[in-house]
Amino acid sequence: MTGTAGPDTDGSGAGRDGGHDGEGPELGREEVVLERIEKWRRHRPRLKDEFVNSAHGAGGKASAALIDAVFVEAFRNKTLETMADAAVLELPSGERIAFSTDSYVVKPRRFPGGSVGHLAIHGTVNDLSMMGASPSWISAAFVIEDGFSVEELRGIVDDMAEAAKHAGVTVVTGDTKVVDRGAADGVYITTAGVGVIPAGVHLDARAIRPGDKVLVSGKIGDHGVAVMIARGDLALEADIPSDTAPLNELVEQLLAAAPGTRFLRDATRGGVATVCNELARDAEVGVVLYEHQLPIRNIVNGACEILGIDPLYVANEGKLVAIVPADQADAALAAMRAHPVGADAAVIGDVTEEPPGIVVLRTGLGGSRIVDMLVGDPLPRIC
Amino acid sequence: MRFVDEYRDPAAARLAVAEIETLASRLVPSGEPLKFMEVCGGHTHTIYKHGIENLLPSTVELVHGPGCPVCVIPMGRVDDAIAVAKRPNVIFTSFGDMMRVPGGSGNLLEAKAQGADVRMVYSPLDALRIAEANPDREVVFFAVGFETTAPSTAVTLLKARERGVTNFSVFCNHVTIVPPLKAILESPDLRLDGFIGPGHVSTVIGNRPYRFVPGTYGKPLVTAGFEPLDILQALVMLLRQLTEGRCEVENQYTRAVTDGGNRKALEILSQVFELRPHFEWRGLGFISQSALKLSPEFADLDAELRFAVPGVRVADPKACQCGEVLKGVIKPWECKVFGTACTPETPIGTCMVSSEGACAAYYNYGRLTKIPVKSA
């Protein structure tokens, strides 16, 4: 991207000599500055770091910069560039399949409501489901640290087997590697999955239109808060189980009830806020969310309040955001609520024409604020 | 949430906003806005989180003050912290939001990526616990914050002494609220009509230390709590003072703040800390007697002495005009480097470092004021 931006985007010299006072009429200078920021923001973030750090794995701006600069740059192709949850591939027969992969490195490996084993299946099943596919086959690769307990490994793999059975998918191939002690932290799991997309199902952010409704399939923030508490370094105790769950059945029912559904994405890392930002950017629409309509457990809200983090950015492992035409929103909501994992589904916002690319939250108090992309992980605040 | 939602009631907020509108329009019929500074970063957070600026009439403007403790730490101190963190046997512990604050060369997150053992803690006591669990390592706590967090550092130091923990030390950057407030008020080009006083700091130091604000400088100050209705009520109280021609220190946060403060906490502070002759503030320069260091009695637990930190001063870039933004003299977009050399990704000044600093907020949200947001 270097060199594609305007002359003043990296500040090379602009105003450094302090002699720019009085240039042009004062009126309108604010607009000029806003316009410049706006132009700059439309560019995908640029990678400036020399070393990878944890922010690059957090799913926000830093992740996008790394992915663009390193991976997309090297692998460049049309399918990859859609940057969807899963790649959509057309077979010679004309049938379409969804194909997706993900690695699972959660700490701790076991938390209330599940384990890394559940995540490894649910995550990939859900990525496929977001393209409207019926997930069928899964691969699983394990990187194991020398000295890892076989009993714990068996427990994790049993969880995977249980999760796969529950989701109706089969683990059909795999790989095992053992690395030196200290070269990995216990066990890392990578799964990939394939599923067939039924004819007529085309989910795409570009289909989103102003007037559409934004739905979420249940209470948000449970998984992220459950894991943070299970890490044990918060000196907080609360009974919050992770929401890890497969969403394929829910998606099937949703698409049957609301066939006009435009777009689905599971709100994992980066939470509902990140999903809404991505779709607003890709569809060039605005999104307005209503704080009082967000389904959030009291206890999750309380934990977030204490830590100074925003539940909109907290990870979920069994929740999706759906964009549905207004006239099918009731049907979509009823279909989700009819399924156990969608019992607390809610309409949380509207797709608007203005402001394109921006997510606005109408606060419970009656004010509004922009819900932006995060740079890295949400960090607890001291003040 | 019980005991919280009461302070977020939209109907009560509408009433407060209506009163603010009426009072302000009477005070400034010309429409030139009244400017009030909320001193504390916690207030700024509440204002953004709940979209309060968006509720206020155009006749009332909030100026975000210097009370974000992580943003005011100058680059040289961050570099010192990184130098300590990179020493071979050190476990360096820090609050989360300090990790991304840039020094002259990088931040703590980057130091961590390069191999330094940097750990995020939620309390200095966690750092002490890490020291006890790792007796063969040197554990350093990066102490930042106003009088709000200083007592917990002090208690930790007392505990370290009591338990005989010797592999623990504190890199002290605690600052005090009154000197920067004075520095802002001393400025000849100050354009502020009043202050929302910091709530948490005042639970420790009390409301009395602010009397110089109306007394010497003729500006009203209302100490406020951290819920949105607290802030709105504080604005109403400030506007009433102006309307009635009063100018005094008032307390909105009566459920937590007293005039005299928390005597026990103040005692511990004076036992463990002493004032530094001067300390550098990002964006505001050197301010005398504005920060704390460990008292001689605790010198053996002072990381600055134990590790002989480089102590190199990195000057704020000349073009940075944070000082003027903080005083309400210029708007963020009027700063010469705003949005060019200084952006949220590569911040120069304190106002851009925190996402709630005046400049970062304007960079991210400035457009919102230009966008009509359709109501539900």
Q: Is A53 within 8 Å of B340 when comparing Cβ atoms?
A: no
pLDDT (tens digit per residue) in B51-70: 898 899 999 999 888 778 88
Chain B CB contacts of A296 under 8 Å are none
Return the CATH number of the domain spanning residue range A82-197.
3.30.1330.10
Mean pLDDT of B3-31: 90
* Residue A71 to residue A54: CA distance in whole angstroms: 17
Q: Which residues of B touch A355 (CB under 8 A)?
A: 367-368, 371
| A383 vs B68, B336, B345: nearest CB | B68
The dihedrals phi and psi of B313, each to the nearest 5 degrees, come to: -90, 125
Of the candidates B4, B97, B363, which has its C-beta nearest A305's C-beta? Answer: B4
A182 exposed, middle or buried (CB, 10 Å; 0-12, 13-18, 19+)? exposed
Q: Are A228 and A173 in contact (CB under 8 A)?
A: no
In the predicted model, what is the mean pLDDT of residues B183-190?
87
State the DSSP code for B131: H
Q: Kindly list the residues from chain B whose CB atom is less than 8 angstroms away from the CB atom of residue A368.
A: 51, 54, 368, 373
DSSP 8-state secondary structure symbol assigned to residue B334: G
B45–A38 CB contact, under 8 Å = no
Long-range contacts of A44-52 (CB under 8 A, 24+ apart): A44/A1, A44/A68, A45/B345, A46/A1, A46/A2, A48/B345, A48/B346, A49/B110, A51/B110, A51/B113, A51/B114, A52/B113
- B306: confidence class by pLDDT, cuts 50, 70, 90: very high
| Cis peptide upstream of residue A112 (ω within 30 degrees of 0) | no
Three-class SS of residue B69? coil
Give the neighbor-by-neighbor strand order of the sheet with A87-90. A87-90, A96-104, A187-197, A134-145, A170-179
The answer to whether the beta carbons of residues A128 and A119 sit under 8 Å apart is no
pLDDT at site A85: 85
Q: Do B345 and A48 touch (CB under 8 A)?
A: yes
A126 and A246 Cβ atoms separated by less than 8 Å: yes
The alpha carbon of residue A61 and the mean position of all alpha carbons in its chain are separated, in whole angstroms, by: 12
Look at residue A216 in the predicted model and tell me its pLDDT.
98
Q: Which residue has the higher pLDDT, A49 or B273?
A: B273
Provide the residue count of chain A: 383
Q: What's the pLDDT at B308?
A: 83
State the Cα–Cα distance between residues A194 and B366, nearest whole angstrom: 44
Identify which of B53, B98, B373 has the shortest CB distance to residue A360.
B373
Residues of chain B positioned with their CB less than 8 A from the CB of A366: 10, 13-14, 51, 55
Q: How far apart are the first and last CA of chain A?
A: 37
The pLDDT of residue A21 is 42
State the pTM of this model: 0.85
With CA atoms as reference, the chain A residue closest to B45 would be A383
- Of B131, B142, B2, the residue nearest A305 (C-alpha): B2
Pairing of strands A286-290, A359-362: parallel
Question: What tens digit of pLDDT does each residue of B220-229 get?
Answer: 999 999 999 9
Residue B276 confidence (pLDDT): 96
Per-residue pLDDT of chain A (383 residues; tens, 9 = 90+): 333 333 333 333 333 333 344 444 445 778 888 888 877 776 767 787 888 888 888 777 788 889 989 999 999 999 998 888 899 999 999 999 999 999 999 889 999 999 999 999 999 999 999 999 999 999 999 999 999 999 999 999 999 999 999 999 999 999 999 999 999 999 999 999 999 999 999 999 999 999 999 999 999 999 999 988 888 766 677 788 999 999 999 999 999 999 999 999 999 988 999 999 999 999 999 999 999 999 999 999 988 888 878 999 999 999 999 999 999 999 999 999 999 999 999 999 999 998 888 999 999 998 888 898 876 666 666 65
> Token match 């009043």: residue?
B194
Contact B374 A8 (CB under 8 A): no
Per-residue pLDDT, averaged over B16-36, amounts to: 93
From-to residues of CATH 3.40.50.11750 in chain B: 5-67+187-251
Q: What is the mean pLDDT of chain B?
A: 90
To which H or E segment does residue B138 belong? strand B138-145
| Model pLDDT, residue A324 | 98
Stretch (H or E) spanning B273 = strand B273-275
Distance CA A205, CA A275 (A): 11
Distance from the Cα of B333 to chain A's closest Cα (Å) equals: 6
**Residues B180, B287: contact at Cβ < 8 Å?**
yes
pLDDT of B2:
62
Which residues of chain A are in CATH 3.30.1330.10 domains?
A: 82-197
**Phi-psi bin for A264: left (phi > 0), alpha (psi -120 to 50), beta?**
beta
The two tokens of residue B337 are 């480097």
The residue among A271, A212, A268, A215 whose CA lies nearest residue A245 is A268
Nearest CA in chain B to A354: B371
Q: Residue B89: CB partners within 8 Å, gap ≥ 6?
A: B136, B137, B138
Domain with CATH 3.90.650.10 in chain A: 205-370
Nearest to B51 among A29, A352, A367 (CB): A367
For the segment B112-132, the average pLDDT, to the nearest whole number, is 94
- Bigger pLDDT: A382 or B250? B250
Q: Above pLDDT 90, what percent of chain B?
A: 63
**Are the C-beta atoms of A361 and A289 separated by less than 8 Å?**
yes
A354 CB neighbours in chain B (<8 A) are: 371-372
- Minimal-distance CA residue of chain A relative to B3: A302
What are the chain B neighbours of A8 within 8 Å (beta carbons)? 340
Write the residue in B112, B120, B367 that is nearest to A38 by C-beta.
B367
B194 DSSP β-pair partners: B36
B8 contacts A369? CB cut-off 8 A? no
Q: Which residues contact A340 (CB under 8 A, 6 or more apart)?
A: none
Inter-chain contact A361–B51, Cβ cutoff 8 Å? yes
From chain B, pick out residues whose CB is under 8 angstroms from the CB of A23.
none
Here the ipTM equals: 0.81
* CA separation for the pair A226, A26 (Å, rounded): 52
The alpha carbon of residue B245 is apart from the nearest alpha carbon of chain A, in Å, by 30
Q: Looking at the predicted structure, is the pLDDT value of residue B367 above 60?
A: yes
- H helix runs in A138-221, sequence order: 150-167
| Rounded alpha-carbon distances, angstroms, from residue A18 to B62, B188, B275, B325, B335 | 27, 21, 36, 16, 10
Q: Is B50's CB within 8 Å of A360's CB?
A: no
CB-CB under 8 Å, A368 with B368: yes
User: Do A323 and A216 contact (CB within 8 A), yes or no?
Assistant: no
State both tokens at B334: 């009027």
Residues of chain B positioned with their CB less than 8 A from the CB of A29? 333-334
Query: Which one of A298, A306, A365 makes the best mutation probe of the B interface by having the most chain B beta carbons within 10 Å?
Result: A365
Q: Which residue has the tokens 């769950």?
A: A245
Q: Label residue A377 exposed, middle or buried (CB < 10 Å: 0-12, 13-18, 19+).
A: buried
A75 burial via Cβ count (<10 Å: 0-12, 13-18, 19+): exposed
Residues of chain B with CATH 3.40.50.11740: 75-175+291-307
Contacts of A352 in chain B (CB under 8 A): 374
pLDDT tier at B358, thresholds 50, 70, 90: confident
**Which of B40, B64, B73 shows the shortest CA–CA distance to B282?**
B73
Q: State the pairing for strand pair B273-275/B292-294.
A: antiparallel
Cβ of B364 and A288 within 8 Å?
no
Q: Supply the pLDDT for residue B373.
A: 44
Q: What is the largest CA-CA distance in chain A?
A: 73
- Asked if B110's CB is within 8 angstroms of A382's CB, the reply is no
pLDDT for B343 beyond 90: no
Q: Where are the beta strands (DSSP E) in A146-283?
A: 170-179, 187-197, 213-216, 263-266
Say if CB B30 and CB B189 are below 8 A apart. Answer: no
Q: Please give the CATH topology (third level) of the domain spanning A205-370.
A: Phosphoribosyl-aminoimidazole Synthetase; Chain A, domain 2 (3.90.650)
Q: Where are the alpha helices (DSSP H) in A54-105?
A: 61-66, 73-75, 78-81
Superfamily covering domain B75-175+291-307:
HypD, alpha/beta domain 2 (3.40.50.11740)
Residue A265 DSSP SS3: strand
Contact B40, A356 (CB under 8 A): no
* Closest CB to B376 among A52, A290, A382: A290
Chain B residue numbers with beta carbons less than 8 Å from the beta carbon of A372 are 364
Phi, psi (deg, nearest 5) at residue A307: -85, -10
A-chain residues near B336 (CB < 8 A): 14-16, 18, 20
Give how far A348 is from chain B: nearest CA, Å. 11
Bridge partners, residue A321, by sequence: A216, A265
Per DSSP, B103 falls in state -
| CATH code reported for the domain at B5-67+187-251 | 3.40.50.11750
A372-381, B16-25, B286-295: which range is least confident on average? A372-381
Burial label, A72 (beta-carbon count in 10 A; 0-12, 13-18, 19+): middle
Which DSSP letter does residue B175 get? B
Q: Return the SS3 of B58.
A: coil
Assign B3 a pLDDT band (cuts: 50, 70, 90): low
For A372, the closest chain B residue by CA position comes to B364
